[in-house]
Amino acid sequence: MAENEGKKSTNFIRAIIDDDLKTGKYGGRVHTRFPPEPNGYLHIGHAKSICLNFGLAIDYNGLCNLRFDDTNPTKEEDEYVNSIIEDVKWLGFDWQDRLFYASDYFDKMYEYAEQLIKKGKAYVCDLSADQIKEYRGTLTEPGKNSPYRERSVEENLDLFRRMRNGEFKDGEKVLRAKIDMSSPNLNMRDPVIYRILHASHHRAGDKWCIYPMYDFAHCLEDSIEGITHSICTLEFEDHRPLYDWFLDELEIYHPQQIEFAPLNLSYTVLSKRKLLQLVQEDIVAGWDDPRMPTVSGLRRRGYTPQSIRIFCDKIGVAKRDSMVDVALLEHCIREDLNYTVPRYMAVLDPVKVVIENYPEDKTEMLKAVNNPEDPSAGTREIPFCREIYIERDDFREDPPRKYHRLYPGNEVRLRYGYYVTCTGFKKDPETGQITEIICKYDPATKGGDSPDGRKVKGTIHWVSARHAIDAEVRLYDRLFKTPNPLENRDIDFKENLNPDSLIVLKSCKLEPNLADVKPGQRMQFERKGYFCVDPDSTTSNLIFNRTVPLKDSWAKLEKAEKQKAQKSKDEKNKKDSGLISFKDFSKIDLRVGVIKEAELVKGADKLLKLMVDVGEDRLRQIFAGIRKAYPEPEKLIGKSVVVVANLEPRKMSFGVSEAMVLAGSGKDNLSIVTFDSDIEPGSKVS
């Protein structure tokens, strides 16, 4: 794959494979597999695994199988296998003739189970599910042996065969591996390997009423297929000893299991159970709702397989828990589409503009480039006339700072059109909404260049009102409003849904060149974002989905300005309230000071001059307005007081005051705060 060339990504799994290749562990083979359970749709987390497994096979000249791990008939359906096949194919991977099903190995697995029994390594257990749980012990206490653990090989064989023959009801008996009930690894405490399930299987039908458990089945599937590196997610790390145990006891081909961290994506959930819930509770329109992180959702949203592959390459593979920023996914699709899709003009929230000096009955065709990044994409023609639509947000009656779009008196460029200057506007007196904007145009600026070299700061898109076609546009945004919707376990993750994740715009105006688009087609609407045609779209009812908006530095700037305004408002409110925050308070340096000198200030009738020891190598000079309370200042000498020591020095006509003494004042009296105990001058007051 092209994007895998160049600087090749490296990770711990590749290191392991490199090493195995060097030592000839598997005779130089690399054979991986992607083993989904067909009980749900694939999502971007699976895409990571798919890209990893198939990517490894491609890069190492090996093979990768697609295998359905369908060992639980109660949860699996053909609908899911079909969607999975479609999705893996769509992502661009090819398993050739190696499409497998665990259920194809049921006979073989059954044989292996009997082998285990014959070897005395498995037994039929009659304990109920609850009892098994009880006997298992806990994380810190060992379990105890089942009373059925020592049945004879003959009895086990007989019972197991009768299980297969349907002589028992669901849950009545299970086959268990005989390992170690006191193992610190709970998976090794005689795990169940076969259970009775009278359910018909999506492929095997009613042939079986016993089905193997994951731990038993999976290693066998890998072994049967000759897998070399069985790559799975971290939660199976604890299962590896069991994986190894089965293969060792059976003495059959032994692949190695390697675990990596599953993908977490900000502002989304990636758990089949939670995604199922969103579908079943009609919170989204289905598995392929464009807001879903499913492969089918991303496809309908307009993502390309290539962008997803690049994303999976960029996020890397490691063992630590991580949360990838969804901004990276968005970056990947923008980057891909920027170079590959054509531009069109579409006005999503239209307001009419009348160009007063443009002839009433004239129409002319203007040339527009299809993709500035790709000259080979050519040009097209767009009709222009006296009446056009522009984006409501591209006009302001009172423009904010740095706004360089249309406003009364301002000149802007109509993309590929003319320079126009706003000369007036009409407003609905009731609602205050702008109903029409009046402009004049400069005929010399056709195509968007002015012969006199004058510049305009803004370029806006437009659509001819007489030629525009109507369409519905669906604006999609992140499904959740919080970076990690599952962070707080006490809150239902659905509380974190983004109420604005879908906004439907009904009367959008599009340039006529878009009349014949087909579902799945991708394009950029200039200045707005990347869009694609929804599968529900028809010629008479066009529907576009927004894949991702363009980066909008104006929106960012505007938001920042608003936040700035809000912040200064908050600060003002804080000041007005007279409260300081704990943080501010901690900055105040209150110290114990001892008054060493005190005298009246000549020429002032309220002030005393104090010289105070605050633990420094010199005394501080403080002017305090406390003369009324202390007419005989010498009595203050030797007193301990509380001093605010980190005030800016204040210049007064008598000298500089270098601190402040805390005092309390009532209606007619005033006194300073003093101490009696002998605390060292300079001590912190807390």
Partner RNA sequence: UGGGGCGUAGCUCAAUUGGCUAGAGCACAAGCCUUUGGAGCUUGGUGUUGAUGGUUCAAUUCCAUCCGCCCCAGCCA
Nearest-approach distance from CB 195 to RNA, in angstroms: 4
Nearer to RNA, 105 or 211 (CB): 211
Label residue 4 exposed, middle or buried (CB < 10 Å: 0-12, 13-18, 19+).
middle
DSSP state of 92: T
Nearest-approach distance from CB 217 to RNA, in angstroms: 7
**From candidates 65, 268, 524, 640, binder to RNA by CB under 7 A:** 524
71 binds RNA (CB under 7 A): yes
The contact pattern for RNA, residues 331-370, with x = CB under 7 A and - = no contact, is x--xx--x----x---------------------------
Nearer to RNA, 228 or 257 (CB): 257
192 binds RNA (CB under 7 A): yes
Question: Which neighbouring-strand residues pair with 440?
Answer: 421
CA distance 69 to 39: 10
- DSSP E strands in 97-242: the ranges are 99-101, 122-125, 174-177, 192-196, 210-212, 229-233
Residue 434: closest CA among 359, 361, 517, 350: 350
How many residues form the binding site for RNA (CB under 7 A)?
90
**From candidates 94, 111, 167, 235, binder to RNA by CB under 7 A:** 235
577 binds RNA (CB under 7 A): no
Question: Which neighbouring-strand residues pair with 424?
Answer: 438
Nearer to RNA, 503 or 555 (CB): 555
**From candidates 41, 54, 69, 124, binder to RNA by CB under 7 A:** 69
Catalogue the long-range contacts made by 75-79 (C-beta closer than 8 Å, 24 or more residues apart).
75/37, 75/39, 76/37, 76/38, 76/39, 76/201, 76/202, 77/38, 77/39, 77/202, 78/38, 78/202
Stretch that binds RNA, among 90-98, 193-201, 434-442, 677-685 (CB under 7 A): 193-201
Nearer to RNA, 216 or 630 (CB): 216
Q: Are strands 640-644 and 660-661 parallel, antiparallel or unpaired?
A: antiparallel
512 binds RNA (CB under 7 A): no
**From candidates 204, 328, 604, 685, binder to RNA by CB under 7 A:** 328
Query: What are 440's two structure tokens?
Result: 């004049």
Nearer to RNA, 207 or 556 (CB): 556
Nearer to RNA, 550 or 679 (CB): 550
**From candidates 226, 383, 448, 682, binder to RNA by CB under 7 A:** 448
Please name the helix (run of DSSP H) or strand (run of DSSP E) that holds residue 597, with its range, or none: strand 590-600
Nearer to RNA, 328 or 611 (CB): 328
Catalogue the long-range contacts made by 101-104 (C-beta closer than 8 Å, 24 or more residues apart).
101/67, 101/68, 101/70, 101/203, 102/35, 102/67, 102/68, 102/69, 102/70, 102/71, 102/217, 102/218, 102/221, 103/68, 103/70, 103/71, 103/201, 103/203, 103/204, 104/203
Nearest-approach distance from CB 543 to RNA, in angstroms: 21
**From candidates 108, 162, 551, 567, binder to RNA by CB under 7 A:** 551
Residues 1-30 that bind RNA (CB under 7 A): 9-12, 15
The contact pattern for RNA, residues 454-473, with x = CB under 7 A and - = no contact, is ----xxx-------------
316 binds RNA (CB under 7 A): yes
CA distance 58 to 96: 13
444 binds RNA (CB under 7 A): no
CA distance 518 to 495: 37
Label residue 85 exposed, middle or buried (CB < 10 Å: 0-12, 13-18, 19+).
middle
129 binds RNA (CB under 7 A): yes
**From candidates 154, 356, 449, 584, binder to RNA by CB under 7 A:** 449
274 binds RNA (CB under 7 A): no
Stretch that binds RNA, among 208-216, 277-285, 467-475, 575-583 (CB under 7 A): 208-216
The contact pattern for RNA, residues 386-415, with x = CB under 7 A and - = no contact, is ----------------xxxx-------x-x
DSSP state of 294: B
